[in-house]
């Protein structure tokens, strides 16, 4: 069937069979489907939707558009597992979760992404480490996964190339929000990683791409259903993103926060709870633990005894970073020259946070991108960010500590942060951190 006839069929609400979808995706990959045809297809899917069979077929076809990793030849003594997050402000879970899972017996080739819009990217945080090879060749990746148990990397050009082209088209045609296309985009890369099990962290709230719980639930249902349909066991947790996760937002600052947690110096409770519970779910799903409660105990134990920290340090060094980053982060991670606390104008409690605006304030400092070619300033961002209910104001804790490259940037960051926080006389009720499991 000609590409335009496939577009016509979907435009008219017809169900496409797997062979037809495979042919269209193959055309996206090799260029025989034009950009205008791919754009029209994305818009037709956006309005007409896909049923489960179509979603599974699209996901598999995009997976098969490039290299699919096969770990069987390494004779790994445990399952190959991973996590994916829909993104958020201060979402640094992967930095702790990957070594935690490796210390529990899993093998984690964690293919991560860069920042997108207001959300920070895991890959950007690791590239704040001097020498770290975020895109190793396949031989090095397999060596590190086998010997260390985890490797947090970026997707290479041969992983789901159809997704890269289609996503770029969706980004400029107002079709990013399609559940069908989001599902295929996420899962095609995870399926290409050759996983045995997957856990999803689907965010909702003011700092999430899916602001309402209902929207997040619909996405989680789609991802889990399609993943299982594609023979990849999966579970999803719906987690709150109405405030910054952890105390920091900004690449080197978030790395420092996670290094302190791995060293056993304490953590912001919400950050640790999300991380440990995702680990517990995945350990149970892949049969490394008999149940979720046992998985949680395993995750807590490897954090307490330092085994997760050891895996992190070994991974960083194996991928070209310094061997003593854990002990001496300030020797390697960049620091901003302007550091100052931002106090609230009045005493009270943090009643609401426009978390998306906090993320955009990091971008404005240079800690994120407004276009793909923009360089990242790893040093800038916010630390000691106040959470919901915190007592702030004169003589109390600041809204945040601003880390900026110049006084002018710091002034602008302060203006943006003040606008993002609502202060009231009483603390607000807090909703559940983990709202649902799917």
User: Do 298 and 377 share a structural domain?
Assistant: no
Q: Are residues 361 and 216 part of one domain?
A: no
| pLDDT recorded at residue 372 | 63
**Residue 295 contacts residue 282 (beta carbons within 8 Å):** yes
Residue 371 is among the residues annotated as catalytic for this protein: no
20, 29, 65, 85: which is the annotated catalytic residue?
A: 85
Tell me whether residue 45 is exposed, middle or buried, using C-beta atoms within 10 angstroms of its C-beta: 0 to 12, 13 to 18, 19 or more.
buried
* Assigned domain for 55 exists: no
Provide the pLDDT for residue 357.
Answer: 95
Q: Would you state the structure tokens that stand for residue 175, as one six-digit string?
A: 């079709």
How many residues in the chain? Answer: 438
Residues 29 and 100 reside in one and the same domain: no
Do residues 207 and 100 share a domain?
A: yes
- Does 309 map to a domain? yes
Supply the pLDDT for residue 243: 95
Nearest to 115 by CA among 417, 370, 355, 358: 370
Give the bridge partners for 400, in sequence order: 342
For the question of residue 170 being annotated catalytic, the response is yes
**pLDDT of the residue at 373:** 67
> Known catalytic residue: 122?
yes
Determine the pLDDT at residue 328: 97
Average pLDDT value for residue range 290-318:
98
Q: Is residue 432 part of a domain?
A: no
| CATH, residue 196 | 3.40.1030.10
- DSSP bridge pairs for 234: 198
CATH number for the domain that contains residue 368? 3.90.1170.30
Residue 393 forms part of a structural domain? yes
> How is 403-426 classified by DSSP, letter by letter?
EESSHHHHHHHHHHHHHHEEEESS
pLDDT of residue 114: 63
In the predicted structure, residue 267 carries a pLDDT above the cut 90: no
pTM of the full structure: 0.92
Average pLDDT in the 276-302 region? 98
Question: What is the chain's mean pLDDT, rounded?
Answer: 93
Q: What is the pLDDT of residues 393-408, one digit of tens each?
A: 998 999 999 999 999 9
Q: In whole angstroms, what is the distance from residue 235 CA to residue 311 CA?
A: 25
| pLDDT per position as a tens digit, 65-80 | 999 999 999 999 999 9
230 and 150 part of one domain: yes
- Classify 368 as helix, strand or coil: coil
Q: 107 and 253 share a domain?
A: yes
DSSP H or E stretch at residue 52: helix 52-63
Residue 324 lies in a domain: no
List the CATH number of the domain containing 43: 1.20.970.10
> Mean per-residue pLDDT for 380-387?
96
Same domain, 313 and 344: no
The tally of domains found in the chain comes to: 3
Place of tokens 């010997």: 147
Active-site residue 377, yes or no? Answer: no
- Provide CB contacts within 8 A for 129, sequence distance 6+: 255, 316, 321, 322, 325, 332, 333
- Shared domain check, 313 and 382: no
120: left (phi over 0), alpha (psi -120 to 50) or beta: beta
Nearest to 256 by CA among 200, 199, 339, 145: 339
Asked if the model's pLDDT at residue 44 lies above 70, the reply is yes
pLDDT at position 123, please? 86
216 and 350 share a domain? no
Range of the domain at 387: 335-424
In this predicted structure, the answer to whether residue 370 has a pLDDT above a threshold of 80 is no
Sign of CA dihedral 53, 59, 62, 63: negative
259 pLDDT above the threshold of 90: yes
Domain match, 111 and 242 both: yes
- DSSP bridge partners of 235: 199
Residues 196 and 339 in one domain: no
Instruction: Produce one character per residue of 355-367: b if its CB has 16 or more CB atoms within 10 Å, e if not.
Output: bbbbbbbbbbbbb
Percentage of the chain beyond pLDDT 70 is: 97
**Residue in 10, 55, 82, 183 annotated catalytic:** 82
Catalytic pick among 185, 206, 227, 275: 185
Give domain status of residue 326, yes or no. Answer: no
190 noted as active-site residue: yes
Q: Choose the catalytic residue: 55, 60, 63, 84.
A: 84
Q: Which of 10, 63, 83, 296 is catalytic?
A: 83
434-437: strand order across its sheet: 81-85, 197-204, 234-240, 434-437
């Amino acid at each position: 069937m000609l590409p335009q006839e496939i577009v016509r069929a979907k435009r008219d609400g017809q169900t496409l069979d797997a062979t037809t979808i495979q042919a269209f995706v193959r055309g996206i990959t090799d260029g025989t489907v034009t950009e205008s045809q791919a754009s029209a297809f994305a818009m037709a899917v956006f309005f007409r939707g896909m049923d489960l069979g179509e979603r599974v077929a699209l996901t598999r076809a995009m997976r098969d558009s490039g290299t699919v990793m096969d770990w069987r030849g390494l004779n790994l003594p445990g399952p190959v597992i991973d996590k994916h997050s829909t993104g958020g402000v201060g979402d640094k879970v992967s930095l702790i979760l990957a070594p935690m899972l490796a210390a529990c017996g899993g093998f984690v080739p964690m293919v991560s992404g860069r920042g997108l819009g207001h959300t920070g990217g895991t890959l950007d945080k690791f590239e704040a480490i001097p020498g770290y090879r975020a895109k190793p060749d396949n031989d090095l990746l397999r060596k590190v996964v086998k010997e260390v148990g985890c490797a947090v990397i970026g997707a290479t050009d041969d992983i789901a190339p159809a997704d890269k082209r289609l996503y770029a088209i969706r980004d400029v045609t107002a079709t990013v929000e399609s559940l069908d296309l989001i599902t295929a985009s996420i899962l095609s890369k995870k399926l290409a990683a050759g996983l045995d099990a997957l856990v999803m962290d689907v965010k909702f709230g003011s700092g999430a791409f899916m602001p309402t719980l209902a929207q997040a639930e619909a996405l989680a249902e789609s991802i889990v259903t399609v993943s299982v349909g594609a023979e990849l066991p999966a579970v999803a947790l719906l987690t709150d993103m109405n405030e910054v996760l952890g105390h920091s937002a900004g690449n080197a600052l978030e790395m420092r926060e996670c290094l302190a947690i791995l060293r056993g110096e304490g953590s912001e409770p919400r950050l640790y709870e999300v991380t440990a519970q995702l680990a517990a779910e995945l350990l149970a799903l892949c049969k490394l633990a008999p149940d979720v409660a046992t998985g949680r105990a395993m995750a807590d134990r490897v954090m307490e005894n330092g085994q997760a920290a050891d895996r992190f340090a070994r991974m960083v060094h194996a991928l070209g970073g310094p061997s003593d980053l854990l002990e001496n982060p300030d020797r390697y991670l960049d620091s901003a020259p302007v550091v100052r606390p931002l106090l609230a104008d009045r005493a009270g409690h943090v009643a609401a946070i426009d978390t998306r605006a906090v993320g955009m304030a990091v971008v404005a400092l240079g800690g994120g991108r407004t276009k793909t070619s923009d360089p990242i300033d790893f040093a800038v961002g916010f630390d000691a960010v106040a959470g919901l209910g915190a007592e702030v104001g004169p003589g109390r804790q600041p809204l945040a500590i601003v880390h900026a490259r110049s006084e002018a940037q710091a002034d602008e960051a302060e203006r943006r942060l003040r606008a993002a926080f609502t202060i009231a006389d009483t603390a607000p009720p807090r909703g559940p951190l983990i709202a649902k499991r799917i």
